Chain A
Amino acid sequence: MSSPCAEFRRAQPLLGTIVSISVVAPHADIARAAVSAGFEAVARVQGAMSFHDPGSDLSRIHRDAWRKPVPVGADTHRVLRAAVALSRATQGVFDCTVAPRLVAEGRLPCPDGAPRPAAGADWRAIDLSRAGHVALQAPVWIDLGGIAKGYALDAAAAALRSAGAWGFRMDAGGDLRIRMPEPEPVHVRHPTAPGCFFPVGRLRDGAVATSAPYADETGLWWGIVDPRVGARLAEVSSVSVFAARGLWADALTKIVMLAPDLSARLARRLHATAIVLRGDGAGEVCDGRLRPSARWTVRGGDNA
């Protein structure tokens, strides 16, 4: 008789990072097919929401939506609806139209054939009132990077479950999506020492997203852009958010980082919890009220 439970895992270069999917299923064939279905879902979301790909929904929005409504896929419409709802709820603290800043820094390519963003235009220019269509009241450049990554894992989770997976672990460059029979330990990288992992909690079914100004290959630190002032945050700390959906988890990391006061109500509504790790080793766990429910400081040890 074959084994009653099979585990299979693969990793692919997707979403600008490495995406790994590990599946537990009643049979090896089911596990393999589920992993493939998961990657197909991630690739579908990437194809629709890529800033780089001239054929993506996003690129077509940048080129044409300022002069006529552009038909988009259900995924893109859903993610943009969520982005606009978050912008409204945070009065623009979360704003997916910060892309021009990333283009100016060379972090994103200049969109081909798209008009320059209108001065002063922001998320309020995005009109989603017509089902399946996006219109722009003024040209803007939209970057869905983080929340599209979170949503891609949500879409993959749905695909894995339909394909018969009993449990799974997914990792998209540090954004996690887990559904396992037993709670799994979750670690987060130290913001100034990415080779060190803090145990921050256990998760049975849900998402964890982390935002931090990690150093890149050249040693430069890339902070989170604050759309209200158009500058990057200087503070070196990381924010991890546990939430039911990857989309909310990823968006909340930025909101907690930029405006902890504003994010409290949102986090409670989304049943999310944030964990803040600071560069000096201090940290705090914030529950739905986003008031610290635990604080700690790591001090120099005797062996130092």
Chain B
Amino acid sequence: MSDWRPVLLVPVAIVLPAGSHAAVYLSVEQAQKVLFPGAPLQAAPVQLTPEQKAAIEQRLGVRLRITDLKVWRAPDGAVFIVDEVIGKHEFITYAVAIRADGAVKGIEILEYRESYGYEVRHPGWRGQFVGKTTASALELDKDIRNIGGATLSCRHITEGVKRLLVTHELALR
């Protein structure tokens, strides 16, 4: 195929030794425009009371890590919530829009960050790559845009949305 060519024609290759990678998709404001086009949203942050927290935890069977919620309200009773989920190696900020009747209107991922610590912890492993970079420009994160072979699952987001739906039902209506 003429549209691609391998760069690995020399016996070297590498790597982003920092072990971290981030992608920013939308700002909070941009996500609001995607999920509520044209609708004015009013910031209405919520601090869950101990009773609300206990009720949500009992329903979900998990401990709530965060009790202050970043909430915006739309004129039709819908809400927009910005939340975070943390996996073993990834940290995802996302927004959920929930209609007044409690149904999900939409989900937007705002930012994704991942981090793997072993390169730092195991200098021997890292050492095999030091000084082997094909082109120094490739180390810049902006050039690492197209990464094949990820480990990503959206399970944490699914769990986060479920938590926010229960929170909405018990504390935000």
Contacts and interface: CB of A to CB of B under 8 A. Distances in A.
Interface residues of B, number: 63
A300 B124 contact: yes
Contact of A195 (B4, B21, B124, B154): B21
Contacts of A193: 116, 118-119, 125
Nearest to B24: A9
Interface stretch (A53-61, A83-91, A112-120, A211-219): A211-219
Interface string B86-127: 011100100000000000000111001011101100011111
A240 B154 contact: no
Contacts of B118: 193, 195
Nearest to B135: A199
A285 B4 contact: no
B12 A203 contact: no
Given A199-B138, A298-B129, A174 B7 contact: no
A185 B138 contact: yes
Given A16-B153, A198-B14, A208 B148 contact: yes
Nearest to A270: B1
B34 interface: yes
B131 A202 contact: no
B148 A174 contact: yes
A162 interface: no
Contacts of A204: 3-4
A196 B15 contact: yes
A229 interface: no
The binding surface of chain B is classed by DSSP as loop
B150 A173 contact: yes
Interface residues of A, number: 74
A202 B7 contact: yes
Nearest to A286: B6
B148 to A, nearest CB: 4
A14 B145 CA distance: 20
Interface in A189-238: 189-191, 193-206, 208-212, 214-217, 238
B73 to A, nearest CB: 23
B148 A304 contact: no
Contacts of A202: 4-5, 7
A10 B34 contact: yes
A178 B146 contact: yes
B17 interface: yes
B34 A176 contact: no
A16 B149 contact: no
Nearest to A35: B34
Given A10-B108, A193-B125, 5 more contacts: A12-B108, A13-B107, A173-B152, A200-B6, A243-B1
Interface of B: 1, 3-17, 19-21, 23, 25-26, 34, 87-89, 92, 107-109, 112, 114-116, 118-119, 123-132, 134-135, 138, 143-154, 157-158
14 contacts: A12-B107, A17-B153, A184-B145, A188-B147, A194-B150, A195-B20, A195-B116, A199-B7, A200-B8, A201-B7, A203-B146, A273-B6, A301-B131, A303-B123
Closest 6 CB pairs of A and B: A304-B127, A195-B116, A210-B149, A174-B150, A13-B154, A195-B19
